[in-house]
């Protein structure tokens, strides 16, 4: 990342993202691949669509920040009618946020999504 500081009656900072520092991933679990998970179990995604920067490790389901910065995570779930499901976003083993779907009495698939903005240090796990 290029950081440029200008002096003009105060300090102004400008950050310019360089291509070799781009980090983004999209991963999904195919419906038949996901079975009931136990508390604290990491979701292993069977389909990694995008992994720019290779910070997401599909074999472990863990994202490791390559650079210190602010990262945005969006996570969603879809459940069958009559089900209740939840997943948790964790940073270094500590709870960040729950995503909970409640669908009793529903006759259609239900989805729920959450977005979290998280500060991470280089090498830190999401």
Average pLDDT by consecutive 10-residue portion of the chain (126 residues)? 48 61 88 72 90 93 92 87 82 90 79 92 80
Structural domain includes residue 100: yes
94: domain CATH number?
Answer: 2.60.120.40
Q: 87 lies in which domain range?
A: 2-120
Structural domain includes residue 126: no
Structural domain includes residue 81: yes
How many structural domains are present in the chain?
1
Structural domain includes residue 94: yes
Question: 72-90 burial, b if ≥16 CB within 10 A, otherwise e?
Answer: ebebebebeeeeebebebe
Structural domain includes residue 125: no
pLDDT at 24: 93
């Amino acid at each position: 990342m290029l950081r440029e500081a200008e002096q003009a009656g105060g300090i102004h900072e400008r950050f310019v993202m360089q291509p070799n520092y781009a980090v983004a991933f999209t991963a999904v679990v195919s419906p038949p691949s996901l079975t009931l998970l136990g508390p604290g179990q990491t979701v292993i995604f069977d389909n990694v669509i995008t992994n720019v920067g290779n910070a997401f490790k599909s074999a472990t389901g863990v994202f490791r920040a390559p650079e210190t910065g602010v990262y945005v995570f969006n996570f969603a779930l879809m459940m069958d009618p009559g089900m209740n499901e939840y997943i948790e976003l964790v940073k270094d083993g500590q709870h960040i946020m729950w995503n909970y779907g409640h669908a009793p009495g529903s006759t259609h698939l239900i989805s729920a999504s959450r977005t979290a903005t998280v500060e991470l240090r280089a090498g830190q796990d999401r």
